[in-house]
């Protein structure tokens, strides 16, 4: 027997239409990667960058995040002039990505918080015997997240990919133990570095432009939340 409802057989909310008016209602799931020294961001567009890194093995998966906030500050320089010393030129922005994980994750702590995981085998798979926290700093990472935004017109979910090209972690790990308060959350914060990638211009050409991160339409089969 066939069954029917008012659910659409396919969404009529497209990524393009969603960007006209959208809501952000939940956190992303994400994968964390070491930067590939042989891969030049400045010769690839955002889709190509995502495709390249999704084919690599991730250091860890973040699928229990409570918040993941990307914020900007600036300008770092302001040129003023004229009789009223009005601002004439503003230059320079900085960006941060601040994440809180609801659960401790040894591989994430090593990748983003400066921790060191010790194993009882040379393959460094499973067999974890210690998590060390010292003075080490983590290197710059690439993060690919997957989430959904809400199309304001239709109310439908539209799947998106968010790529943070270069995330330099603060490499700080705070272990809070409190029997009566809220459960501990694990902070994984850091700076987003401006990264030159290829972006299309009004003439249909791809030109180099500096970006902190990009929100893309999620292609089928490219979800970032699947297991390692």
Asked whether residue 83 is assigned to any structural domain, the reply reads no
Does residue 6 lie in a domain region? no
Could you list the mean pLDDT of each consecutive 10-residue stretch along the chain, which spans 228 residues?
73 87 97 98 98 97 98 97 97 98 96 97 91 97 98 93 98 93 93 98 96 93 48
Q: What is the per-residue pLDDT for 74?
A: 97
Contact 103, 122 (CB under 8 A): no
Residue 225 domain-assigned (yes or no): no
CA distances 94 to 77, 192, 199, 213, Å, are 11, 7, 20, 12
Domain annotation covers residue 187: yes
Residue 211 lies in a domain: yes
> What count of other Cβ atoms lies within 10 Å of the Cβ of residue 61?
18
pLDDT tens-digit readout, 92-118: 999 999 999 999 999 999 999 999 999
Answer yes or no: is 67 within a domain: yes
3-state helix, strand, coil in the chain (%, to 5): 10, 45, 45
Domain region containing 133: 15-75+89-217
Phi-psi region at 126: left, alpha or beta (left = phi > 0; alpha = psi -120 to 50): left
Q: Determine, yes or no, domain membership for 192.
A: yes
Rounded Cα gap, residues 34 and 166, in angstroms: 10
What pTM value is reported for the model? 0.91
Q: Structure tokens of 181?
A: 């308060």
The pLDDT of residue 3: 83
Listed in sequence order, the residues at least 6 apart from 201 whose beta carbon sits closer than 8 Å to its beta carbon are: 207
Given this model, what pLDDT does residue 130 score? 97
Count structural domains, the chain.
1
Q: What is the CA radius of gyration of the chain?
A: 21
| Cβ–Cβ < 8 Å for 105, 62 | yes
Asked if residue 80 is part of any domain, the answer here is no
Cα 194 to chain center, whole Å? 14
pLDDT of residue 124: 87
């Amino acid at each position: 027997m066939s069954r029917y409802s008012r659910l659409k057989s396919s969404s009529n909310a497209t990524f393009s239409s969603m960007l006209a008016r959208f809501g952000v209602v939940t956190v992303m799931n994400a994968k964390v990667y070491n930067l590939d020294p042989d891969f030049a961001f400045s010769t690839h567009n955002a889709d190509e960058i995502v495709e390249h890194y999704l084919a690599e093995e991730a250091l860890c998966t973040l699928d229990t995040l409570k918040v993941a906030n990307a914020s900007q500050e600036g300008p770092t320089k302001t040129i003023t002039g004229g009789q009223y010393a009005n601002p004439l030129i503003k230059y320079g922005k900085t960006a941060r990505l601040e994440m809180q994980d609801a659960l401790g994750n040894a591989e994430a702590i090593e990748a983003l918080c400066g921790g060191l995981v010790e194993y009882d085998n040379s393959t460094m798979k499973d067999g974890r015997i210690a998590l060390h926290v010292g003075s080490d700093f983590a290197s710059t990472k690439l993060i690919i997240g997957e989430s959904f935004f809400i199309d304001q017109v239709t109310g439908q979910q539209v799947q998106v990919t968010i790529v943070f090209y270069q995330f330099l972690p603060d490499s700080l790990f705070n272990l809070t133990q409190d029997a009566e308060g809220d459960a501990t959350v694990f902070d994984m914060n850091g700076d987003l570095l401006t990264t030159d990638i290829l972006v299309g211009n009004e003439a249909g050409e791809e030109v180099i432009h500096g970006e902190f991160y990009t929100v893309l339409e999620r292609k089928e089969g490219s979800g970032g939340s699947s297991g390692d």
